[in-house]
Amino acid sequence: MKYTNPILPGFYPDPSVCRVGDDFYMVTSSFEYFPGVPVFHSQDLVHWQQIGHCLTRQSQLNLEGAKASGGIYAPTIRYHDGRFYMITTDTTGIGNFIVHTEDPAGEWSDPIQVNHGGIDPSLFWDDDGTCYYASNALWMPRERGCYVSPINIETGQLQWPKSKLLWSGIGGKYPEAPHIYKKDGWYYLIIAEGGTEFGHMISVARSRAVDGPYESCPHNPLLSHRSTANPIQSTGHGDFFEDAQGDWWVVFLGVRHSSYPLVHHMGRETYLAPVTWTEDGWPLINEGRLVDINMVVDRAGPEQLGLLNRDFRDDFSSVTLDFRWNFCRNPQPDSWRVGQAGGGLQLQCLPEDLDGIGPKAWLGLRQQHFYTTAETELDFAPSNQEEAGLTAYMNERYHAEISVVADGHGGRAICLRKRCGELRTEQRFDLSGKGAVKLRIVAEEEHLHFEHASEGSTFTEVGTMETRALSTEMAGGFTGLYWALYATSNGVSGKNSATFRNFDYQPSYHDKEWDRYLEPVTAAPVAD
Ligand code: 6LW
């Protein structure tokens, strides 16, 4: 089997996988974006297709007032007795909760709250059918580490008066992300520690009883790329699973950097590596080696080296949105429309601007490739302070956009704005005519180029932005860069809508990011 990491490029952190027969299901964190917790399906672990989201209704996920990187943290997905369960934390709302379904591509239940603090909840069913809840307890006035208690899965009620501390790890900060598995009479507890930055790692302990005592593995940490020159950094927060052939795997998060000193702007991404077991029953990730961009694993499976090119074009003619689209917090229901005759996404100019956390007219998808373009064609006749355009958006304080605005003399102008913390610049450029305007962001590893074109003319670049200035290291938080279509009336009440006729996302085929790591001529998919 050959495949290229990350298996989910772009902002898809904290992955968790379960298997049902030959089908694998994966979920990742979603923070302040809506719908929450994307669900993916695969049969070969390399090609993943999004089949929906767990949290599609405001009654399941109310993100009103959620700060950037608030909302939904690390989810766990498990399957038991005909039902899928997803447990996660709404950090700005109801805390830890479970939803369930029999169809992971369909609707999930309303939340069942779990009265336990901390983040990174997980579920484990023992052979006698008892279900256990595990999570960390960072936010509780208790010893840092990972805790367990039996749980009534129907009610969310923990069955012990107090959850029990299982393990605090090997000394890294933030012992978190516990998952429990049972194999050959051992209970294995894997956790993440060291923090989600460069010190991140996965460590393991085991016990003959689910509630301990747990002994630390002699070759911990199981995985860490810290202080190495590997292009994948910050590896941690993993989940193990077994395939139908009895082989074990781990999915985990990591980041790819764009420049030195290391910064990253596409968020924490999802990686895959094989897990094997030593003779004395301890797991090894990738035989104890670092995990590579291009993986050759001695197991049956796809021979798929090279970037899975994810060209994506949407004319918004469908009445439902493609799963990759997200709103920033819950959308205001009447502020957006798709599926109209002739297509197009209509966004109403809402008063909230890109700097605010109120309801925005904003629809975005993740930047997943270093070298790629995002392009849209916009019909818009702004008045007063109305504005509509295309933004490269990390959060309210870190974003850069090209937009169409009113010029104050009955005409229109192009506006290029860069917001980087307390620094903010805005430039205006002439725009003639009243027709549709094309807006484009061309992304290279270290720069974004902002361009526009009137009907019938070629693109003109009006400025660039360093990707470093929008990186997580600058902007903070746990998310990654989105490219979003938006409309706003900038604080006053607006009357107009903007119509985006289409959106086009095109990673460059011979993507330079991959050329660095690929064996010769493997940028194209390897033929069977
Ligand atoms: C989280 C924690 C982590 O829940 O980051 O990297 C936090 N790991 O486990 C948010 O993703």
- For 115-152, the pLDDT digits (tens) are 999 999 999 999 999 999 999 986 556 788 999 999 99
SS3 469: helix
- How far is residue 24's CA from residue 45's CA, in Å, rounded to a whole number? 7
pLDDT attached to residue 34: 98
Distances (CA, A) of 252 to 26, 269, 282: 11, 8, 18
Length of the chain: 528
Residues at CB less than 6 angstroms from ligand 1: 13-14, 29, 73-74, 119-120, 176-177, 192, 196, 236-237, 253, 478
Which ligand 1 atom sits closest to the C-alpha of 136? 9
Catalytic residue among 176, 193, 377, 513: 176
pLDDT exceeds cutoff 70 at 309: no
- How far is residue 308's CA from residue 325's CA, in Å, rounded to a whole number? 19
pLDDT in tens, 379-425: 999 999 999 999 999 999 999 999 999 999 999 999 999 999 999 99
The residue whose two tokens read 């506006």 is: 415
The burial of 343, by beta-carbon neighbours within 10 Å (0-12 exposed, 13-18 middle, 19 or more buried), is given as: middle
The burial of 49, by beta-carbon neighbours within 10 Å (0-12 exposed, 13-18 middle, 19 or more buried), is given as: exposed
pLDDT exceeds cutoff 80 at 17: yes
- How far is residue 382's CA from residue 388's CA, in Å, rounded to a whole number? 8
Nearest in space to 282 (alpha carbons), one of 372, 207, 200: 207
Neighbours of 295 (CB within 10 A): 19
According to DSSP, the residues that pair with 88 across neighbouring strands are 97
Closest C-alpha to ligand 1, atom 8: 196
pLDDT in tens, 156-195: 999 999 999 999 999 999 999 999 999 999 999 999 999 9
SS3 57: coil
pLDDT attached to residue 144: 87
Pocket test for ligand 1, best of 12, 478, 479 (most atoms within 8 A of CB): 478
Q: How far is the CA of 73 from the centre of ligand 1 (A)?
A: 7
Which amino acid is present at 346? Answer: Q
SS3 501: strand
pLDDT exceeds cutoff 60 at 58: yes
pLDDT exceeds cutoff 80 at 526: no
Q: Which range is least confidently modeled, 103-117, 263-277, 432-446, 506-520?
A: 506-520
pLDDT exceeds cutoff 60 at 340: yes
Give CA torsion, residues 57, 485, 401, 431, to 10 deg: -150
Cβ contacts of residue 132 below 8 Å, gap of 6+? 123, 124, 125, 126, 148, 149, 150, 151, 180, 210
Neighbours of 364 (CB within 10 A): 23
- Overall pTM > 0.85: yes
